[in-house]
Structure 1
Amino acid sequence: MMCRRRSHCDHGFTLVELMLAVVLGCLICGVALMLLYSETRHGITLAKRTTLKQWQRRSLDLVKGDLEHASSW
């Protein structure tokens, strides 16, 4: 029995459907990569700020220790 109607015989996707799926997939991947890049940059900035605050705290502790030592004379 030969099928002449396309809707009953063909069970694949059309070229337009495949192209639309590829474009949507690329858009989703692009947005995901942009978010990943943004979060990575934010994390690096946060790590630098944390390191700077640790150095500031350490420097203040050293100055405090020197002042306490000098005042005991």
Structure 2
Amino acid sequence: MISLFDKVEHIKDGSVKGIVVHIDDNLKGTTTCRVAWGVETKEEAEKMPVEDTDIQWTNKLVKCD
């Protein structure tokens, strides 16, 4: 399950990593979230303007390190 501030990659392209900065309604199943792509830390992700983040489905993301 994807959580807030998890480091993630997309299931179809693991070459770009990001950090989840928002999860919609934190439902128990699949939902949408916002990802700050290309950042390494929670602090960088929090500073990224919302218009520079990307909306993704949580079931299309996997946790990574």
TM-score category (smaller protein): under 0.3
Relative to the length of structure 1, the TM-score reads 0.15
Of the two, which has the highest radius of gyration? 1
Pick the structure with more helix per residue.
1
Q: Which has the higher strand share?
A: 2
TM-score relative to the length of structure 2: 0.16
Higher relative contact order (CA 8 A, sep 6+): 2
